Structure 1
């Protein structure tokens, strides 16, 4: 397993102040939340605008594919940059760049005769900036709060990220419908600008210094990060588990939405409760984790056990006769999803040395950005042919199989305390 940075060579405080009194963390937390909100806002607003303007689902999907390809190809490179350079400056630069790039998208919408090519190009550049911003932000948390408060900080960040993603998609769609795509995109740009200003106001971030015999090249650092992630059984297991969980989770969420409309014929109130159940369950799980002791025992078993238990819940949802009966099970899925993802996030920040965290989050981000779209494509095709409830039922058994395999084969995670 990775050896954590030693106290003698690290700038990270061993005992740190409460999070609410940590000005630097709170400014990063607020800026990061705005950045995530803006990114989701951007995604839904742009996709809806393209679909409404061109009427082409293929062009709309090209926006998503652009993000996916950029993430897959450049995730580990972005993580290496985050480890080699000043992370706080990278966050400010990237969010500032996204401010101008997204304004450029709005300009293309208003003033160019054939804006789509420009929109795709600017979207790709914005995705690159986002790739640099994300691992820089994620890898800064341990340095800012200290290892004794990582669990609380990660819980706060994940609750806020979850709320920002859900509300960003919802509000982005509403603004596009009411005021048009350009207004939504300009609002998104403003949020990126605010994020940059907040992180700029936080001042210099503390950082553990990298100890090495000689200066290394970018290529050496990049290869070292990939080698250390893939050669370590724990890191390899975490990468595999998180990718599989996200592939199933996002796909099954889509299947539940299809069931709500086509099978349960849910009324607007019940559909709204279904949509709220996952983020509410996730928040309950995150709050529970934050309330536990700073180093609870058997965290590895909590992660794998939660993964395994999600399978029977999906099977139960698939056979429910109506939406109201399924809502408690959907809520439980959100809670278990929180345990099997948030605890992984905490452990990574504790076990991976600070100078490697950018590469770890970059590589993980590359893989997890590909898994959900791939799963959605496959599950949507199967649902059209065999019915959403049948596909969800089979997916539940698949989740049980994956969870059982992880329990027996991913021993470094299971044995983690």
Structure 2
């Protein structure tokens, strides 16, 4: 599509939005149903953290080769394979739990699904610049976040109701159906002929996975803004990876709320994501990347600390929305910047390297946060995590992130990367 053309006149973009919505519905069901299923089978917050941590380890390990796969093979086919595989895996859980409750199946299926989820996410990021014009990337990412939010508003609430009425396994079964429909929908996507991302990219040094992965890592390291952004996000990921488990445990165990309330609180949180998707293009355009990213994560940290002080379910729901508003704005800005800076033939590897590196501490964080919360309570943990998030975000003001305070500064960074 030519620059300035409306995104809604692009049929491939509209189809891609629909597919992403279905995948988001599936993700929202997993977001609620899997922790509830672990809690039903084991009754342990620590076991919830272990499953989350194992999924993170699987995703990080996949990141070692996901970028190479995305840059080597047809990206449309990869999207279809990833959705189809998750359909089969989650469908197996739903079927088996009709007759038994083998906890080992959860530990097997959920991390394996994380493998395909990681490949899907890297492919999705690499596909966006092949569908929309360069000046539409931030706005398109905002729309994609909006569809995620719309799907997620009803998803967690519905998952909570299904789990309360029929059990978490039934909610996971519906999750499998959404992935099946999304896999079929990928067949209708067409990437523009002649675009560098539409064809299978040529890979330098093909045959050496280590060198191909390091190509993405080297690009991150050699770019000061991306290097510092990756470092700070690694620390933030360590702190936030296990937050959902902690909030669910607090609602269920400390406040004695049923599964439906858990779904409602998480649904309310997605309202923040929805708002972020609409304001991010204006915020970044007016403030620039640095202030947008620093301010958004500072706001998220204050909300997390507030959840440690909140004593009512409505207050927790509002603060959850504020937290996701902040992380949503920061996440869209970060992803759009990488898509703008990175050459198309490297985008899969740079995306995979970025996610692998900055997520490496996530599983450790999930285990640590849930273990400490089980011992001393969720309240002090949320206060400590929120305070640390604000401190880390504000430290970005003293790095290249803070100096990227105006749009011209970002443009100079883009121009330097291209040269």
TM-score by structure 1 length?
0.79
Residue number in structure 2 paired with 1:18: 6
1:72 Cα deviation after fit:
1.5
Choose 332-341 or 252-261, whichever is displaced more: 252-261
Whether the 8 Å contact between 1:255 and 1:389 is mirrored in structure 2 is no
Residue number in structure 2 paired with 1:64: 52
Distance 1:181 1:396 in 2: 30
Distance 1:269 1:374 in 2: 29
1:140 Cα deviation after fit:
0.5
Does residue 159 of structure 1 match 2:149?
no
Aligned match of 1:174 in 156, 161, 168? 161
Choose 243-252 or 336-345, whichever is displaced more: 243-252
Aligned-partner SS, 2:97: helix
Whether the 8 Å contact between 2:45 and 2:374 is mirrored in structure 1 is no
Aligned match of 1:301 in 275, 291, 299? 291
Whether the 8 Å contact between 2:213 and 2:353 is mirrored in structure 1 is no
Residue number in structure 1 paired with 2:215: 224
1:380 Cα deviation after fit:
3.9
| Cα distance, 1:205–1:109 mapped onto 2, change above 3 Å | farther
Residue number in structure 2 paired with 1:354: 344
Choose 317-326 or 241-250, whichever is displaced more: 317-326
Residue number in structure 2 paired with 1:244: 235
1:303 Cα deviation after fit:
1.2
Whether the 8 Å contact between 2:7 and 2:132 is mirrored in structure 1 is yes
1:176 Cα deviation after fit:
2.8
Aligned length: 403
Matches within 5 A, 1:321-360: 331-360=321-350
1:135 Cα deviation after fit:
0.9
Distance 1:203 1:364 in 2: 27
Aligned match of 2:274 in 265, 276, 283? 283
Distance 2:97 2:255 in 1: 39
Residue number in structure 1 paired with 2:415: none
Distance 2:325 2:40 in 1: 36
1:388 Cα deviation after fit:
4.1
**Residues 71-117 of structure 1: CA deviation (Å, up to 9, x unaligned):** 11111311221111111111112222332333333343346x78544
Residue number in structure 2 paired with 1:81: 69
Matches within 5 A, 1:99-248: 99-110=87-98, 115-118=102-105, 120-165=107-152, 167-204=154-191, 207-208=195-196, 216-219=206-209, 220-248=211-239
Choose 402-411 or 275-284, whichever is displaced more: 275-284
Distance 1:65 1:196 in 2: 27
Whether the 8 Å contact between 2:67 and 2:350 is mirrored in structure 1 is yes
Aligned-partner SS, 1:208: coil
Residue number in structure 1 paired with 2:20: 32
| Cα distance, 1:267–1:92 mapped onto 2, change above 3 Å | closer
**Residues 200-232 of structure 1: CA deviation (Å, up to 9, x unaligned):** 112345542588796633523222122222332
Residue number in structure 1 paired with 2:417: none
Residue number in structure 2 paired with 1:5: none
Distance 1:292 1:64 in 2: 33
Distance 2:12 2:181 in 1: 15
Aligned match of 1:364 in 354, 357, 362? 354
Distance 1:154 1:184 in 2: 28
**Residues 238-263 of structure 1: CA deviation (Å, up to 9, x unaligned):** 22233333444565666677777899
Distance 1:128 1:176 in 2: 25
Name structure 1 gaps, 5 residues minimum.
1-12
1:142 Cα deviation after fit:
1.3
Distance 2:262 2:168 in 1: 26
Whether the 8 Å contact between 1:79 and 1:135 is mirrored in structure 2 is yes
Aligned-partner SS, 2:206: coil
RMSD of Structure 2 on Structure 1 (CA) = 3.9
| Cα distance, 1:224–1:413 mapped onto 2, change above 3 Å | farther
| Cα distance, 1:67–1:164 mapped onto 2, change above 3 Å | farther
